Amino acid sequence: MPTIVAACQVPALKENINASLDWIERFSKKAEQKSASLVCFPECFLQGYLTNENIARKNAVNLDSASFKKMIHRLESINPIIVFGLIESDGENIFNTAVVVKNGMLLGKYRKTHLLDGERIFERGSEYPVFQNGNMKFGINICYDTQFPECSMKIAKQGATLILCPANNMMKYEMAEKFRYLHNSTRIERAKETKLWIISSDVTGEVDGRISYGPTAAINPIGQIVDQVPLLETGMITVEILDT
């Protein structure tokens, strides 16, 4: 039986956790209606892509806290595994993290291992966990991680079939136009190298003089774009992946 995976392209929000959870809840239910067992949302989607250290620390969440458990309890009735990005606090450190949640419970997390210059407020992650979804294993690379072949290869060597790529490509207009089609090009190379599926999820829209086109796309192991949400539109794709 194939595994159906969904990826969502949603508005870029900032410091509005309730609104982010509304989108996660609504699109996850929509994905479940399409028989998806796994659904992905963008990088830092819960609080927004915050790179001012004071603001990021103010909004960061500890994954062991009662407040975070209360947040994900909203997702208790949703059956697919949900992957979404957030800003995590752990002691004195903050991380750019993707969490893996099922039925309102935290299954695990991945911390971004490669940071852009503007992300130096975060600590780097060092581990590449692989998660089980039925008969299929998947791992996570967050956005810039896909520029580095070793990130995807470490997941491939653990027997995964799929890499999820939560992303946030909100850029100044000139840079956004320059990179408009390069994000998929990089991911195509990683898919061909590893022979894995790569499915990305990105934000879209305009915020504070910046723009994100996307893309939210599914790339198969031979480097073909199988499906993609149109640039600058909110929406969701669902893709069937054969279990190996």
Predicted local confidence at residue 180, as pLDDT: 87
As a residue count, the chain comes to 244
- Residues 6+ positions from 203 with CB-CB distance below 8 Å: 9, 10, 11, 12, 42, 45, 49, 167, 168, 169, 170, 212, 214
Q: Rounded to an integer, what distance in angstroms lies between the CA atom of residue 88 and that of residue 71? A: 14
Kindly indicate the confidence band of residue 181, based on its pLDDT and cuts at 50, 70 and 90.
confident
Predicted local confidence at residue 201, as pLDDT: 98
DSSP letter string, 92-156 = TEEEEEEEEEETTEEEEEEE--S--GGGTTSBPP-----EEETTEEEEE--GGGGGSHHHHHHHH
Kindly indicate the confidence band of residue 244, based on its pLDDT and cuts at 50, 70 and 90.
low
- Beta-sheet pairing, 81-90 with 93-102: antiparallel
Is residue 208's pLDDT more than 90?
Answer: no
Q: Which pTM does this prediction carry?
A: 0.97
Q: Does the CA dihedral 237-166-200-220 come out positive or negative? A: negative
- Residues 6+ positions from 194 with CB-CB distance below 8 Å: 152, 153, 155, 156, 163, 221
